[in-house]
Every structure is written in C-alpha cells, then in structure tokens.
Amino acid sequence: MKQVRHFIEGEFVESVDGATFDSISPIDNQPVAVVAEGGADDVDRAVRAAAGAFDLWSTMSPTARKRILLAVANGIERRADELARWETIDMGKPIVESRHRDVPRAAYNFRFFADYAEMVGTRAFDKRWDNTFGYELREPLGVVAAISPWNFPLMLLTWKVAPALAFGCTVVAKPAEQSPITASILAEICTEAGLPDGVFNVVNGFGPGSAGEALTRHPGVAAVTFTGESNTGKAIMAAAANTLKKLSFELGGKSASIVFADADLDEAVAGSLIGTFMNQGEVCLAGSRILVQRSIYEEFCSRLVAGVRAWKVGNPLEEATKVGPLVSAEHMGKVLSYIEIGEAEGAKKLTGGHRIEEGALAAGNYVAPTIFADVENSMRICQEEIFGPVATVMPFDQADEAIAIANHSRYGLAGMVWTKNLDVPGSFNLTSSAFPAGAIAVIPDWAIVSQRRCTLAPEPGLGRSVDDLVTWLTEHPGLITSKPVPVALGGLEGQMLDVRKDPDWRDTRGKGELGPNHPCSGRVGLFTHQGTIDDPGYWDIDDSMRMRLLFLDAGDHHVVTVHVETSDRSSFESFVEAATPIVESLDFGATP
C-alpha cells in the first residue's frame, strides 16, 4: 500500500503525533494508501518552513523562478502516466480524462504562470504639473495556503500553486483528504526540479478541527486560496477574519445552460452531455440546469436521454468508460438522496436515478446518470448543488424568460448558451449584465466570451480573472518621487531619472528592462566598471551594490528608472552623483 506523508522543508515526514488515515478508492471502496493525518503542530512546521524560504524565493528574479517552474512542468509530463493512474484510482475519474485533460493542464498551469510572471511589470503615474512621477511595484505577498478540492486534485492544486510560486510567494498546500496522492507526487517533482526547500509544502488532513482549520487560522499565512463547497468557504472566511488574510474562493455552482431553437441540436445535445456528466457531474461549472426553447424541447429531451444511455458507466481505469464512480460512499449517498427529493417534488425522471449494483461495479460508488424533465426552477434539485450525474431540463418560450430562470439562483459561477445568433429580437448580449455569471460560454467549443467578477449572485466565490489573481498574490506599495530624489523600499534604494525616449523603442524581451542583449545595453557599461552580469537585468557595480534599469511607459513620454540595491547609503549617494549626468546624456532618440 502506498505511503503518503507530509512534505515539509524539502523532506517527507510523519505527523508529529503519528496519526494516519486511509485513502479509499471509490472504484471498490478499498484502501490504496496510508496517509499522514496532520494537525496544528504539522501546519505550524510547514508555515514556518514556508516563511523561512520566503526571503530566498521572493528575491529571485522571475526569470530564475521560471527556469525551476518549467522544470516542474517537464517533470509532470515525464510522470504523466503515473499521475493519471493515481488520479483515477484515488478519485474515480475516467482515465481518459486524467491522462488527456487533467495532467496536461497541470503542466500547462506551470508553464503559463512561469511565462506570465515575467511579463507583469510596474504601473506609472505621471504628474508633471506637480513635478512628480509615481510608480507602483508588485511584490510577493508572503505564505499562501492552498486548499484544493477532490474533483480535480492535481489540476486545481497546480492552478493555485503555480501562480503563487511564479509571483514569488511560498506555499503550504492541503489537498482534499479524499484524494491526497498526486499532491505528494507533485512534491517529489518539485524537489527533482530544484525548487528550494520550504518553498512548497504539503500537509495532509481534514478540515474543521484539523489541518485545514489550523492553516486558515495560522498568523503566518498571508492568504488563503480555496476551491470547494460554499459552506466550507464561509467557515474559512470566518476563521481567517481575525488575521485579515487575503482570500480567493471558487465555490459552488448550479449553472444554467440555455439552448435556443436556432442551435445546432446535435452539438447542443453532445455538449450538454459533456457539460453535465463529465467527471460524473462532479464539476463546479457543470451546466446541470438545462433550459430548452419550447419548440425543440421534446426532441432535445429524447436525444439527451439516448445520448447518456450510450455513455459507458464502468471501471474508470478502462479506456471506454465515460462515467466512473462518485468520490466516496458518503457523497454517493448525498447524490442518491437528491434523486429521491426530485421524485418527491414531482419531477419527471426520464432515465437513471439508481445505484448500479450489478457485477464488478457493486463494490464501488456508481450511480446511473439521471435526467429529470418538466421541473420547476423552485425545486431543490434545481436550486441546490448536487455535484453528481444529475441533470434537470425545463422549457422556456422567450429569451427574457430564460434569463429570468437562469438568474433565479444563489450561485453565479458560470453559464452556457447554445445559439447561432446573439442579436435576434428578444435575445440578449452575453457580455451584458443580463446574465451575471462569473464565466459565460457561447457553445459549441466551450469558448468563454466573458470572464468577470460576479457580484449580483451571492455565492460564486471571490476573485475571477487572471488579473485578479496577480493582484491577490502581490502587494502594491506606491512610490512617489520628485525627480531626482532617492526613494527607498525595504532594502531597495533607487534613483528616479526622467529620460525622453523614442516611443517605438522596446527591449528585446518585451518587458521594458534593459537586458544584456538590448541594443542600448552597451551604454550600461558606463556603470558596471569591471562588473559582470549575474542576473537578467542586473549588473554588479561592486561587492556591495548592483543595479538594473527599468523602462516605464508614462503615456506621451517614457521614463528609465535606475534601481540600485545596496546596504551602504554612502556608496549609494556617491553612485547617484556619478551616474546622474551619464544617464541624462544617453541618446534614446528624439521626443516627437
């Protein structure tokens, strides 16, 4: 049986009190791993390790961090088969999804954010009428607690960990207790990739009264990112309140999928099957409330039933399986109870609605995909998140009616629309406020046409776009200076110099830094004396001082900022006195 321990400060360790629990496979409800069960003491060890590694990691250049994160991505790809198999055994998702969707996306998350962090720079605020120029720096926030869900264990863990690491934060992760195995393998990959000890830590365990609660309350944690059920999100928010942590939540969903009469019916049916029953319906974005225009309602229902009956329910390790077991016997009980509720409420069951107990599947948590028709939107099966293979289908006549039904929900995580024409009379603009969901997809192809923070629905979560994520992971100490006055931020001391530049000038890496390969970099030799380049964008001046130049776009003109890092103020002042006339003499082109 596999042993899964905590990963703290670069080492796999047991719990302080020696506690463990079994990880149960939903395929047959047999244990597949013995997992260290963490508590407050284990969390404290991990947070202290992350805090101790923060200075090293946060001061590395984005380029240096990128090299390590790309190595992590390579490691995920090298061990893709192993990761996919354990993801399926531990959680129950079909191996086809694990291998071709989840694991590749996990590697992609590291690649994307490694690249993106290099491109995020400062913002400039020009107030020449006050003889001042302000700019805003992004700095790593601190220790981030990443609490990941069981439905996409590796993919959503990396969606949290990769951006945090890319922007210089350190991480303590707590994977869901139902699916902890791939987080442990990811820790091995991070070590092999050269990630410094303590930068990424994993503590296994449960939520309330256990590792999860201890992590959200720990004063050394600066922020918590969580994906999961809404009530758990509320508990985390309450636990984090005393220490005013930053929070990022992706919570529950009960998304509406609207099918208009002009939609390609084959595509709408095929897409609705995927949108509802993929991953056994254990998807927060699932479009399980299907609204169909009345003129095609009967035909759509008939095709949907035929389509789902063709999906194979079976052992998720088999390539042909489309629907695997639910993650746990407890969760299976919850889903079956909602099916009973739907029947009691008067919904018309078209197919499914029972546990599969024949043959080899009898030992597992298999539920037949279920479709209810002729439902009322006020029914509990339409208003509460079931998180299983259950779809509800209801008719509508006009677009305004569909919008009213779709918006009658406490959730606002996502929405889907099937139509060939968004501008038909009586229809609506998907990017307008008519459909206030966090992400709107016009389908086919699940192309998201609108991503935004949803404030009208009370329980979609906190934070939405990539820009939100960057803001959440960084601090923004604003710096205002009258030129040429030295400014200070922590250990960084710099001199602001206004240099008129050709607006068409760009550096070779597209970042605005005068890198070593830039055509103007020869001018930097005036400052370096006999120094050498030891980091992209930085040049040694002497043993106690290094420098870099940053290019800032200030609208109708441009500014070169000279950043000097030193612990010796007298050396800094001498450098500024010598450097100022040289920088002012640089010829970057005439100002138009």
Closest CA to 537 of 555, 557, 564, 559: 564
Closest CA to 21 of 36, 8, 5, 7: 36
Tokens of 225: 């990112």
- Distance between CA atoms of residues 115 and 323, nearest Å: 35
- Distance between CA atoms of residues 548 and 515, nearest Å: 9
pLDDT of residue 566: 64
> DSSP class of residue 297?
H
- Distance between CA atoms of residues 263 and 282, nearest Å: 26
pLDDT of residue 413: 80
Digits of tens for pLDDT over the chain (592 positions)?
A: 999 999 999 999 999 999 999 999 999 999 999 999 999 999 999 999 999 999 999 999 999 999 999 999 999 999 999 999 999 999 999 999 999 999 999 999 999 999 999 888 777 777 777 777 677 777 899 999 999 999 999 999 999 999 999 999 999 999 999 999 999 999 999 999 999 999 999 999 999 999 999 999 999 999 999 999 888 999 999 999 989 999 988 888 899 999 999 999 999 999 999 999 999 999 998 999 999 999 999 999 999 999 999 999 999 999 999 999 999 999 999 999 999 999 999 999 999 999 999 999 999 999 999 999 999 999 999 999 999 999 999 999 999 999 899 989 888 788 888 988 766 444 444 444 555 544 555 544 333 333 333 333 444 455 544 556 666 667 644 433 333 323 232 332 333 332 223 333 233 223 333 333 333 333 333 232 222 333 334 555 566 666 655 544 444 444 455 666 666 666 666 666 666 665 555 544 433 2
> DSSP class of residue 130?
G
- Distance between CA atoms of residues 505 and 562, nearest Å: 17
pLDDT of residue 435: 52
Q: Among the options 250, 385, 459, 513, which is catalytic?
A: 250
**CATH T-level assignment (fold) for domain 256-459:** Aldehyde Dehydrogenase; Chain A, domain 2 (3.40.309)
Rg of the chain over Cα atoms, rounded to whole angstroms, equals 27
pLDDT of residue 410: 86
| Amino acid identity, position 107 | A
Q: For this structure, is 301 an active site residue?
A: no
Q: For this structure, is 384 an active site residue?
A: no
Exposure pattern of 353-390 as b/e (b: 16+ CB <10 Å)?
bebbeeeebeebbbbbbbbbbebebebebbbebbbbbb
Q: What are the C-alpha distances in Å from 350 to residues 371, 375, 388, 439?
A: 6, 12, 16, 30
Q: Establish whether domains 2-120+141-250 and 256-459 are of one fold.
A: no
Tokens of 197: 């000890």
Q: Among the options 190, 284, 301, 454, which is catalytic?
A: 284
Tokens of 52: 């101790």
Phi, psi of 258 (to 5 degrees): -100, 125
Tell the CATH superfamily of the 2-120+141-250 domain.
Aldehyde Dehydrogenase; Chain A, domain 1 (3.40.605.10)
Q: Is the pTM of this model over 0.85?
A: no
pLDDT of residue 487: 29
Helix (H) or strand (E) holding 160: helix 153-166
For the chain, the domains span 2-120+141-250, 256-459, 478-585
